[in-house]
Amino acid sequence: MSVTTAAYATDELPGETVDAVVIGGGAAGLNGALMLARSRRSVVVIDSGTPRNAPAEGVHGLLGLEGTPPAELLRRGREEVRRYGGLVVTGEVTSAAPATPLADEGEPRFTVTLVDGSTLSARRLLVATGLRDVLPDVRGLAEHWGRGLVHCPYCHGWEVRDEPIGILAVGPASVHHALLFRQLTDDLVYFTRGTGLDEDTRARFAARDIRVVDTPVTEVVATEDGDIAGVRLGDGRLVPRRVLAVATTMRARTEGLDQLRLPMRDLPGGMGRHFATGTAGATDVPGVWVAGNATDLSAQVGASAAAGALAGARINADLVAADTEAALGPARRGGGFGAGNGTTGNPN
**Model confidence pLDDT, tens digit, residues 141-176:** 999 998 899 999 998 889 999 999 999 999 999 999
- Class of the CATH-defined domain 18-132+249-328: alpha beta
State the pTM of this model.
0.89
* Omega cis (within 30) before 51: no
**Cα–Cα separations (whole angstroms), residue 275 to 242, 289, 306:** 35, 10, 17
- pLDDT score recorded for residue 94: 97
Q: Rounded to the nearest 10 degrees, how much is the dihedral formed by the CA atoms of 24, 25, 29, 34?
A: 140
Which pLDDT belongs to residue 13?
Answer: 94
3-class state of residue 95 by DSSP? strand
**Distance in angstroms (rounded) separating the CA atoms of residues 191 and 214:** 6
Report which secondary-structure segment, H or E, holds 100.
Answer: none
Residue 207, pLDDT score? 98
- In what helix (H) or strand (E) does residue 239 lie, and over which residues does it extend? strand 238-240
**Angstrom distance (rounded) from CA 99 to CA 77:** 30
Among 115, 166, 173, which Cα is nearest to 141's?
166
The predicted pLDDT at position 9 comes to 84
pLDDT of residue 2: 44
CA-based nearest residue to 191, from 207, 174, 173? 174
Task: Give the per-residue pLDDT at 348.
Answer: 42
pLDDT, mean over the chain:
90
Give the number of other CB atoms < 10 A from CB of residue 103: 15
List of the chain residues with pLDDT < 50: 1-6, 335-340, 342-348
Q: Which CATH superfamily is domain 136-245 in?
A: FAD/NAD(P)-binding domain (3.50.50.60)
| Kind and range of the H or E run holding 327 | helix 301-328
Q: What is the pLDDT of residue 257?
A: 97
Quote the CA–CA distance of 105 and 1 in Å, as a whole number. 43
Domain coordinates in residue numbering, the chain = 18-132+249-328, 136-245
- Computed on alpha carbons and rounded to an integer, the radius of gyration of the chain in Å comes to 23
Residue 211 β-bridge partners: 189
Which among 132, 127, 133, 131 has a CA at the least distance from the CA of 24? 127
d(CA 14, CA 120): 7
Cβ atoms of residues 227 and 205 within 8 Å: no
Rounded Cα–Cα distance for residues 343 and 74 (Å): 31
Domains 18-132+249-328 and 136-245 share a fold: yes
Q: What is the pLDDT of residues 91-132, one digit of tens each?
A: 999 999 998 655 555 689 999 999 999 999 999 999 999 999
pLDDT of residue 70: 87
